[in-house]
Amino acid sequence: MSRRALGFGVRAAAYERFRPGYPDELADLVLAYAGRPVRTALEIGAGTGKATRLFAQRGVTVTATEPDGAMLAELRKHAPATVRTVHAAFEQLRPGERHDLVYAAAALHWTEPAGRWSRIAALLEPGGVVASFGGPVRLADPAVAEAVRAVRAAFLASDEVPSPDGTPPEQPMQWPGTELQRSGLFTDVRQTVLERRITMSAGDYLGLLSTISAYLELPAPVQEQLYDRIARVLPETVEVDTDLTVHLARLRPDADSR
């Protein structure tokens, strides 16, 4: 796991406050795809537990894993008592207990590519489901988005995470669906986009930016300078597109995950 992936803890409280939660529609989609009761789930890189709560509220017994201690501490403040927490990176987990569902909320791209899918397969019950979901946060107004991009350009070429396997954005199937299809361990790979638009204050939008890894990589004085410049071009409230791209797949009955 990269150092960048472990940098969120310094903004754990802000992450909990400013990052959007996950809609009920997401849980409906995942649980309907499973096609059978989902009693247990393992979450990869749970962060402050926004997705943890979504599934726990549906009666799923969630084991939430998170490598950053500060993020895990924030999760424990908000998670139901039924949630089991594990302070560990995904790569540190050892096969043993199996689950009906293994999922990652805006976290799978931080895991090590080598052996990623065989590790997940080894944590699933036969016929179990893997789910990955997330997406960039983008200003909906093109004029505002361009003003922010122009200000940001002197500091960052982009604030989005590039496709881990280099899949171009125009390709119908995006990562990690591409890897799931190539792995040979999973079947019925599906990609669904859940559209979301949120209105927030300029201050909350800046708070959200302060939880994004590209900004966290900058030295603190540079971050503050950039936030100040962005604040100058923002209206009092902004509309933000936070569409979720959801990938689902099922462990093949003949998968060699044992």
More confident residue, 221 or 255: 221
Tens of pLDDT along 162-209? 999 999 999 999 999 999 999 999 999 999 999 999 999 999 999 999
Q: What residues does each domain of the chain span?
A: 4-135+166-196+242-251, 138-160+199-240
Nearest residue to 15 (alpha-carbon basis) of 84, 103, 106, 151: 106
Other Cβ atoms closer than 10 A to 53: 20
Which pLDDT value is given to residue 1? 44
Does pLDDT of 65 surpass 90? yes
As a three-state string, the secondary structure of the chain is CCCHHHCHHHHHHHHHHHCCCCCHHHHHHHHHHHCCCCCEEEEECCCCCHHHHHHHCCCCEEEEEECCHHHHHHHHHHCCCCCEEEECCHHHCCCCCCEEEEEEECCHHHCCCCCHHHHHHHCEEEEEEEEEEECCCEECCHHHHHHHHHHHCCCCCCCCCCCCCCCCCCCCCCCCHHHHHHHCCEEEEEEEEECCEEEEEHHHHHHHHCCCHHHHCCCHHHHHHHHHHHHHHCCCEEEEECCEEEEEEEECCCCCCC
What is the percent of the chain where pLDDT is above 90?
Answer: 92
Tens of pLDDT along 245-258? 999 999 999 885 44
Which pLDDT value is given to residue 141? 98
Does pLDDT of 143 surpass 50? yes
Tens of pLDDT along 97-142? 999 999 999 999 999 999 999 999 999 999 999 999 999 999 999 9
Mean pLDDT (whole number) for 87-97? 92
Q: How far apart are CA 158 and CA 53, in angstroms?
A: 31
Which pLDDT value is given to residue 95? 82
Which pLDDT value is given to residue 256? 54
Other Cβ atoms closer than 10 A to 83: 21
Class of domain 4-135+166-196+242-251: alpha beta
